[in-house]
Structure 1
Amino acid sequence: MNIIEAIKDPQLLGSFIGTDLASWQPWLAALRTLYGLPVVNRTARHIVADCTGRNVNTLPPGGFDAALFLTGRRSGKSRIAATVAAYEAVLAGHYTRLAPGERGVVPVVAPTMAQGRIVRDYCRAIFETPLFKRELERETKSGFSLRCGTRIEILAGDYRTIRGYTLLAAVVDEACFFGTDAETRSRTDTELMRAIRPALATTGGKLVCISSPYARKGWCWQQYVRHHANPKGQVLVWNASSRTMNPTLPEHVVVTALAEDKHAARSEYLGEWRDDVADYITRAVLDPLVIEGCSERMPRKGTKYTAFVDMSGGRGDDAALAIAHKEQQNVVIDYARSWSPPFNPSAVVDAMAVDLRRYGCRRVTGDNYAAEFVSSAFTRNGIRYKRAEQPKSGLYTELLPLLCSGCVELLDQAKLLDQLASLERRTRAGGKDIIDHPRGGHDDLANVVAGVAAVTSKPVRLVGAMF
């Protein structure tokens, strides 16, 4: 049974997708293309040609082993991801390739746990349908074990957990956003694909990636450049707007989004790559500056330390503190720590003050936008709080030349390095550049390291001194 037949069968995937398939026709055309099924409807053929940039008559008759669907938000991406995963695990016949006692895995990989839960909920709904319910052996914390000997595993962005599995197929949701969130353990989509592709080699399983397009970098961007509109492309690259794939999405939603933020909306709803986003600091710059195995340096007598803090209200963002000193022309990062919410801001300031006193710091510089209670809390602990002279985007601007010239020694902390490497430069109206964390990401540790580097690197001015 092919996937289109399963979707049309009300006892199978049809009871999940729904009996009215009119609004799902673009996705059915996409799935027909992926699986090498005939596309005979004239409207569907036009959709395939528009979204792939290829002649329908010259598409591979056997379909594709790998596909990248680049579609806008509210287009049904996560629902299709769950549909493909369930079909591959139950109906594609992969269990015939398994040795006795061997369990094949169909992983559904998402950048974060929150995104993974969305796909998981859709999978759970599939296994409540009449015939699929019979195949469910048990639901586990991480996925679904099936009677046919296969398993659907919901994974959140960790390339390491892929290794060692027998993969029958792999579905990657929001593939363009790996490495954009501190929760994501895969630094880039490229890193994740390097783990997935070998695990599919012996089974010949499909790799299906579904995402809104984002920055012009990484594996997804490379696949788009190499295979979209390429008549000989070996990867199916499908690029479409939200309303192309989901005609029921109200037009005013897209119009409003475009009016609020043109660059973001063109990516999120029109399926276009962002041209205002670029990497700011690369791993090639960071890696040589890391002192391997050193996550913190102990205080030394006779050394003058400086400190920078980034506070929060204790609900949404981390609070963070960094301490550094200067050796000749180099800024040496000695300490960097973050506190994850929820927390009591006053208690965190008290904890910070303990470490500040360990390093002999009686003054700390902090966020321009910190509330007055922050200054009062540090004063209560005998620490003078000074507001930073510039916002974090300016601090990042000063950090880059220090890094590129090799004048910073970094701690070996994965969270810190991930945040620095994920920083993005965005061009705003008027040509002004802003450096910040990616959508949904965090940069609290990166911010305090940039801040303490800026403060430490400034020359000390002695009033009245003769030169």
Structure 2
Amino acid sequence: MTNIVEAFTDPQLLGQSFGEDTREAWRAVLSGAFALPMDDDRLALFKRLSGDREPPQRQARELWAIAGRRSDKTHTAAGIAVYLATIGAELDGTLARLTAGERGVVQLLAVDRQQAKVALGYVRGLFADSPVMSSLVEKENTEGVLLRNGVSIEVATNSHRAVRGRTLLAAILDECAFFKDEATATPDVEVYRALVPSLATTGGMLIGISSPYARRGLLYSKWRKHYGKPGDVLVVQGGTLDFNPTLDPRVIAEAEQDDPEAAKAEWHGQFRADVEGFVTREVVEAATRPTPLELPYNKRVTYTAFVDPAGGGADEFTAAIGHREGERVVVDVLRARKGTPAEIVAEYADLLKSYRITRAISDRYAGSWPADEFSRHGITVEQAAKPKSDLYRDMLASMNSARVELPPDDRLMTQLISLERRTARGGRDSIDHAPGGHDDRANAVAGLVAANSRAPGERMRALCTW
């Protein structure tokens, strides 16, 4: 029976796409992961990529491949999915274990919808290019490919909900270091936890292929625990030129001049040392009240407000209302909405007035539009004197001193925990959301907390109330 490396080189199977000699690094990785024989040169390459460990004696239970950009990661992930759903499923006896009418699934999870479309395009192309593989296709749809052997390849975005209720023969996580989900700060871990039980019943393989990012998360934990160490979890790591020697080295050299730390991760396959978490889950949870989500107006309290107008797209237009209780800052209300900005301003203006607020402050990057629009409803809005990073720093000091009470808003918690501290080449830190993430709710709360943490006589003039 044909093994995966043979399938990747056979023109009748997957060799039309994967037959080039420049893919030797991927052949070495797959030979190690599937416990295939290797000649001396391939074994030496495998050891260099795997931290000088010996190849597994049996097919690896998990494979984690860390590679630089332009390493053909998504294409390779699609090729592995096609193999495992066809030849691999027959070779390891998986098909015989499926009950009558049961459909096995090889699941390929991507970062977002656009990347899922790219991955699905690769899967379809691999079947179309193979005279043998194409005859196995029963039907194609927007989510994947159904095969005549009772197996489906499903391509979806990363979600722990999407992986439940299926008989998984294998799972492949494409660019898992960049998984994101507004509902959780650890989407990669949540997906992994959901996959493991589904794969345990079939003995299916779990594969993660990704460029590295910060020194945290699922990919980093797998690397730290298993790289260079024996066992049935195989971790390999290499730069772009290891996996794609055809790339012009000048592209990498220019990237290194522009941003050495970013180039270290993007092109050399190394985890970034300049990106760290900003606040821990424990600190955020300790600051969060159990209930209620919103505190009602109290006439004995003086309230302040901070608004973060949406920047368009997936951003939320956010408003936060709070007050001081001694040394503590209480966030009474947090609202976040998408929609027509003018309508949201009218709604938030009524909300502010219900808490006797006629003056608020906004994100300094919002421009003059929010102030002009709020003024039509009798609310004066001025921009924050500090940039967002400084607001976050001020808030962190209060949170670490247990002087903040947050509402039990799940997205707020996710955004706060997902914030990143980045160190620029000049040594200056900045705090912001991760690539592809959002921090609208966190920003509104940070502005509110930072302003209210000041002594009463030092508060920003724009935060005065009736």
- Asked whether the 8 Å contact 2:12–2:132 carries over to 1, the reply is yes
Instruction: Tell me: CA distance 1:133–1:358, structure 2 relative to 1, closer, same or farther (3 Å).
Output: farther
Q: Which amino acid aligns with 1:244?
A: D
Query: 2: CA distance between counterparts of 1:331 and 1:412?
Result: 15
In the superposition, the TM-score normalised over structure 2's length comes to 0.90
Instruction: Tell me: CA distance 1:462–1:147, structure 2 relative to 1, closer, same or farther (3 Å).
Output: closer
| 1:156 positional shift | 1.8
Match of 1:145 in 2: 146
Q: Which amino acid aligns with 2:287?
A: L
Match of 2:345 in 1: 349
Match of 1:119 in 2: 119
Query: 2: CA distance between counterparts of 1:462 and 1:14?
Result: 70
Query: 2: CA distance between counterparts of 1:309 and 1:124?
Result: 46
- Asked whether the 8 Å contact 2:183–2:414 carries over to 1, the reply is no
Instruction: Tell me: CA distance 1:115–1:134, structure 2 relative to 1, closer, same or farther (3 Å).
Output: same
- Which of 325, 328, 339 lines up with 1:327 in the alignment? 325
**Superposition RMSD on alpha carbons, in Å?**
2.3
- Which of 281, 284, 287 lines up with 1:289 in the alignment? 287
Q: Which amino acid aligns with 1:73?
A: R
- Asked whether the 8 Å contact 2:186–2:217 carries over to 1, the reply is no
- Asked whether the 8 Å contact 2:33–2:55 carries over to 1, the reply is no
| 1:239 positional shift | 0.5
Q: Secondary structure at the match of 1:102?
A: coil
| 1:217 positional shift | 1.5
| 1:63 positional shift | 3.3
In the superposition, the TM-score normalised over structure 1's length comes to 0.90
Query: 1: CA distance between counterparts of 2:249 and 2:43?
Result: 24
- Asked whether the 8 Å contact 1:68–1:220 carries over to 2, the reply is yes
Whether 1:204 and 2:203 are equivalent positions in the alignment is yes
- Asked whether the 8 Å contact 1:322–1:333 carries over to 2, the reply is yes
Query: 1: CA distance between counterparts of 2:292 and 2:27?
Result: 53
- Asked whether the 8 Å contact 1:106–1:169 carries over to 2, the reply is yes
Ranges in structure 1 where 5+ consecutive residues have no aligned partner: none
- Asked whether the 8 Å contact 1:188–1:218 carries over to 2, the reply is no
Ranges in structure 2 where 5+ consecutive residues have no aligned partner: 460-466
Whether 1:103 and 2:103 are equivalent positions in the alignment is yes
What is the 5 A alignment of 1:227-306?
227-230=226-229, 232-292=230-290, 294-306=292-304
Q: Which amino acid aligns with 1:115?
A: Q
Instruction: Tell me: CA distance 1:313–1:221, structure 2 relative to 1, closer, same or farther (3 Å).
Output: closer
Which has the higher mean CA deviation after the structures are superposed, 364-373 or 440-449?
Answer: 364-373
| 1:160 positional shift | 2.9
| 1:65 positional shift | 1.4
Instruction: Tell me: CA distance 1:143–1:462, structure 2 relative to 1, closer, same or farther (3 Å).
Output: closer
Q: Which amino acid aligns with 1:299?
A: Y
Q: Which amino acid aligns with 2:193?
A: R
Match of 1:25 in 2: 24
Match of 1:376 in 2: 372
| 1:243 positional shift | 1.5
Instruction: Name the % identity.
Output: 38
Q: Which amino acid aligns with 1:223?
A: K
Query: 2: CA distance between counterparts of 1:385 and 1:159?
Result: 41
Q: Secondary structure at the match of 1:167?
A: strand
Query: 1: CA distance between counterparts of 2:285 and 2:23?
Result: 46
Query: 1: CA distance between counterparts of 2:107 and 2:75?
Result: 15
Q: Which amino acid aligns with 1:165?
A: R
Instruction: Tell me: CA distance 1:222–1:347, structure 2 relative to 1, closer, same or farther (3 Å).
Output: same
| 1:356 positional shift | 2.0
Query: 2: CA distance between counterparts of 1:419 and 1:183?
Result: 8
Which has the higher mean CA deviation after the structures are superposed, 194-203 or 235-244?
Answer: 194-203
What is the 5 A alignment of 1:29-108?
29-40=28-39, 42=41, 44-55=42-53, 58-92=54-88, 93=90, 94-108=94-108
- Asked whether the 8 Å contact 1:182–1:442 carries over to 2, the reply is no
Query: 2: CA distance between counterparts of 1:347 and 1:174?
Result: 38
What is the 5 A alignment of 1:415-430?
415-430=411-426
| 1:315 positional shift | 4.3
Match of 1:10 in 2: 11
Whether 1:224 and 2:223 are equivalent positions in the alignment is yes
What's the CA shift string for 1:379-431, capped at 9, x where partnerless? 22211112212111111111122222332222222221111110111122232
Whether 1:408 and 2:404 are equivalent positions in the alignment is yes
- Asked whether the 8 Å contact 1:289–1:406 carries over to 2, the reply is yes
- Asked whether the 8 Å contact 1:182–1:419 carries over to 2, the reply is no
Instruction: Tell me: CA distance 1:135–1:357, structure 2 relative to 1, closer, same or farther (3 Å).
Output: farther
What's the CA shift string for 1:237-262, capped at 9, x where partnerless? 11000121011222122122212211
Q: Secondary structure at the match of 1:160?
A: coil
What's the CA shift string for 1:291-326, capped at 9, x where partnerless? 345333343434322111122443464332212222
Query: 1: CA distance between counterparts of 2:409 and 2:136?
Result: 44
Match of 2:447 in 1: 451
Query: 2: CA distance between counterparts of 1:221 and 1:266?
Result: 15
Query: 2: CA distance between counterparts of 1:462 and 1:454?
Result: 12
Residue correspondences, number: 453
Query: 1: CA distance between counterparts of 2:446 and 2:77?
Result: 39
